[in-house]
Structure 1
Amino acid sequence: MGNYFLSTESDKMVVLIQEEDLNKIWTLQFDGSCTTSGCGAGAVLISPEEEIIPLSFKLQFFNTNNTAEYESLLLGMQATKERGIKNLKLQGDAELVVNQVKRIYQVKNERLRHYRNAVWDNIEEFDAFSIESILRA
């Protein structure tokens, strides 16, 4: 097994990461979804040794699928920053979101523009960063 240990802190699961692993490239796969019963955001943080740390969030407001995708991306980025990770590869199946972040697609919707700008603001806090589309499973 790897270098990751679970700890409980005020009823939260906390993953303790050894410092030498913080400078390696981590992968964050993100996905968001909305249905008539609610919206959710999920992400999987994958260590350089390919250990998996699942993250999930119930969104307390209704969104579109695109805003749920952005929420999952931003919540996942926040979780990586809280863990001290500095090198991040993002992977998402939302082609629109990925290409807006990469500046390939224009952002015409004002709400999505705010989300995209928030992602750009977060990118500045990483030493290395990339984002790519992956196929839906």
Structure 2
Amino acid sequence: MISTDPEDESMLTDSGMSNEFWSMEFDGSCSSFGSGVRVVLIPPHGKVIPSYFKLEFQNMNNTAEYEDLLLGLAEARRLQIKNLKVRGDAELIVKQVRGLFAVKNERLRHYRNRVWDEIEAFDVFSIEAVPREFKSKDDSLVVSTALLVPHPDFTTDTYRVELIYRPSVPNNSES
């Protein structure tokens, strides 16, 4: 279920599930140099889990953002996270997922529908947009990922880039 208010925790079940939320931040970028995406999962307690992906197929900025969101949701499901607050700087994507904006582009509609399918695995899910001006360092990390050039902040024990060769939504890449 999608919460329109990221602070609304009233949807928690009484089935003994922890009411602690994980957070996820996603950021994608597409340029003539390539596409890179970054997901950060933040547990209620413990170490932050960053993931970096280079998209090795044709796409546009909005599809890169959707790919990023889907890769993060897949990782959250793999970790069996049940309560998730998502933040990203892709306001269009966030508003489409929340159902506030219509999705006119068929390709993006396929992505949005896939996201809706994925979030059914969560007991509580919220998503919000964060202003881009607060993400300048994150953007440089994503560009470094797209170029496969290490960023000065990366260390060998914390930085790994996974190459993704196919879109999350089959037959949905740019031609």
Smaller-chain TM-score bracket: 0.7 to 0.9
- In the TM superposition, residue 24 of structure 1 has moved relative to its aligned partner by 2.2
In structure 2, the gaps of 5 or more residues are 1-16, 136-175
The reply on whether 1:89 has 2:85 as its aligned counterpart is yes
Determine helix, strand or coil for the equivalent of 2:121.
Answer: coil
User: Offset at 1:105?
Assistant: 0.4
- The Cα offsets for residues 50-89 of structure 1, whole Å up to 9 and x where unpaired, read as 6311011111112111000000000000001001111111
Normalising by structure 2, what TM-score? 0.64
TM-score normalised by length of structure 1: 0.81
CA contact (8 A) 1:23 1:85 kept: no
Q: Which amino acid aligns with 2:112?
A: R
Instruction: Between the two structures, name the one with larger relative contact order (CA 8 Å, sep ≥ 6).
Output: 2
Distance between the aligned counterparts of 2:18 and 2:39, measured in 1? 18
Distance in 2 between residues matched to 1:48 and 1:97, nearest whole Å? 25
Unaligned runs of 5+ in 1: 1-20
Give aligned-pair identity as a percent. Answer: 57
Residue 23 of structure 1: how far off its partner (Å)? 5.8
2:27 corresponds to which residue?
31
Q: Which has the higher strand share?
A: 1
SS at match of 2:70: helix
- Whether 1:132 and 2:159 are equivalent positions in the alignment is no
Give runs of ≥4 in structure 1 deviating > 2 Å.
Answer: 21-24
**Paired residues, what number?**
117
Q: Give the direction of change, closer, same or farther, for the CA distance of 1:23–1:78 in structure 2 (3 Å limit).
A: farther
